[in-house]
């Protein structure tokens, strides 16, 4: 009696596509997962001792050293214009917070005026963006 000898083929799993996908996912997480800042040049933000997770806000307002409010580097806006913008975008109706990035050299009087104006506009939450005290200033 003759026994058939069958050769088993060893099938290999092609891991190259899997490695490519994992590499692309890692790159995506590194680039897209990192919160970005839109700080204007020469803005020194306040320092805090407690680290919190970054949560994006519907609108970012900058208070620069000259005690003026900005939405971009180009032109200063008044508190009335900010209140109108909040109303026009419907941020209050949606319950969305505002983000204030204040230069630490700005005066507290402007912070309080901003808070009062936004309270009159109906804004319930303002987040003050700060820098962790141990980190070097950028």
- Using the predicted structure, report yes or no on whether residue 55 has a pLDDT greater than 70: no
Query: Which own/partner pairs from 78-84 qualify as long-range (CB within 8 Å, at least 24 positions apart)?
Result: 79/113, 79/114, 79/117, 80/117, 82/114, 82/117, 82/118, 82/121, 83/117, 83/118, 83/120, 83/121
Residues 2-12: what's their mean pLDDT? 74
What tens digit of pLDDT does each residue of 73-127 get?
678 889 999 888 888 888 888 888 888 888 888 888 998 898 899 888 888 888 8
- Using the predicted structure, report yes or no on whether residue 137 has a pLDDT greater than 50: no
Residue percentage of the chain with pLDDT more than 70? 77
Sorted by where each begins, the domain ranges of the chain are 57-132
Residues 4-15: what's their mean pLDDT? 76
What tens digit of pLDDT does each residue of 13-51 get?
788 888 999 999 998 888 877 665 565 666 676 666 666
Which pLDDT band, with edges at 50, 70 and 90, does 136 fall under?
very low
What CATH code is assigned to 57-132? Answer: 3.30.420
């Amino acid at each position: 009696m003759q026994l058939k000898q069958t050769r088993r083929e060893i099938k290999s799993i092609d891991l190259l596509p899997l490695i490519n996908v994992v590499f692309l996912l890692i790159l995506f997480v590194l680039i897209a997962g990192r919160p970005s800042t839109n700080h204007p040049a020469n803005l020194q933000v306040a320092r805090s001792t407690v680290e919190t997770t970054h949560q994006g806000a519907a609108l970012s307002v900058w208070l620069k050293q000259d005690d003026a409010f900005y939405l971009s580097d180009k032109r200063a806006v008044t508190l009335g214009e900010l209140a109108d913008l909040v109303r026009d975008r419907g941020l209050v109706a949606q319950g969305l917070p505002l983000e204030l990035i204040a230069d630490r050299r700005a005066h507290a009087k402007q912070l309080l005026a901003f808070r009062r104006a936004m309270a009159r506009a109906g804004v319930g939450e303002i987040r003050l963006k700060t820098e962790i005290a141990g980190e070097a200033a950028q």
